[in-house]
Amino acid sequence: MSDYVIPIVFLLALVFSLVKRKDAYGAFTQGASKAIDLVCRIFPFLLASLVAVELFSASGAAKALGTFTAPFFAFFGIPSQLCELLVVRPVSGAGALGVLGKIFSQYGADSYIGKCASVIYGSSETVFYVAAVYFSKTNIRKTSYAVPVALLCTFAGYVLGCFLLRFF
């Protein structure tokens, strides 16, 4: 069923643009032209985080951390190989993307670990970044319970997602 989502979404957009007589080609190329700028902007962050993650796992420290935290993750049904992703995800979008790529090349995108990583990356946001940017123009520095609640709920979402993945 989920196979139909992408084709239907694209088809609907094209049909809409025909009905509304908008220039689909112009809009598409205009949006696409911004992609290189965006990637150039995130490249240094991607590079820094991947170098760090590579060092961390080559040294065996990642494995040690994984074994150490395994009982905690096992309790919630999340593979312990994903602890780096869990730590980086709320802090840096580009960093999490780097970790996700590494997990895919190490375990494969269709493995249970790869699928859990996909759900974790896809179902959550850079919590700390959102909180910081949204309040950047105000004088409010203490966001009371907002960040802890967001983090806890995100984690609850991960647990549900990883659980559901057993049936997909």
Partner 1 sequence: MSAIWLILTFTGLIVLTFTDPAAVLPTLTAGSGAAANLCITLVASYALWMGFFSLIDKLGITDGLARLLGPITRFLLPSANAKAQKFAAMNFSANILGLGNAATPMGVNTILQLDEGTGMTDDMATFVVISATSLQLVPTTMLSMRASAGSVHPTSVLIPCICATVFSTVLGVIVCKTVAAAKRKNAERKSEKCAFNSIRIAQNAQNGCKKTKAKSK
Positions 62 through 101 that interact with partner 1 (CB under 8 A): 84, 87-88, 91-92, 95, 97-98, 100-101
Q: Could you give the CA distance from residue 161 to residue 119 in angstroms, rounded to a whole number?
A: 6
Q: Closest approach of Cβ 149 to partner 1, in Å?
A: 5
Q: Closest approach of Cβ 82 to partner 1, in Å?
A: 14
Helix (H, G, I), strand (E, B) or coil at 28: helix
Tokens standing for 130?
């959102």
15: nearest Cα among 2, 4, 3, 24 = 24
Q: Could you give the CA distance from residue 124 to residue 50 in angstroms, rounded to a whole number?
A: 20
Judged by CB under 8 A, the residue of 11, 43, 67, 74 near partner 1 is 43
Q: Could you give the CA distance from residue 103 to residue 123 in angstroms, rounded to a whole number?
A: 17
The angle subtended at Cα 105 by Cα 103 and Cα 111, nearest 5°, is 65
Q: Could you give the CA distance from residue 124 to residue 153 in angstroms, rounded to a whole number?
A: 10
Our finding on whether 21 is near partner 1 (CB under 8 A) is no
User: Interaction with partner 1 in 145-164: which residues (CB under 8 A)?
Assistant: 145-147, 149-150, 152-154, 156-158, 160-162, 164
Q: Closest approach of Cβ 99 to partner 1, in Å?
A: 10
Binding to partner 1 by CB under 8 A, coded x per residue (else -) over 113-142, reads: -xx--xx-xxxxx-x--xx-xxxxxxxx-x
Our finding on whether 168 is near partner 1 (CB under 8 A) is yes
Our finding on whether 109 is near partner 1 (CB under 8 A) is yes
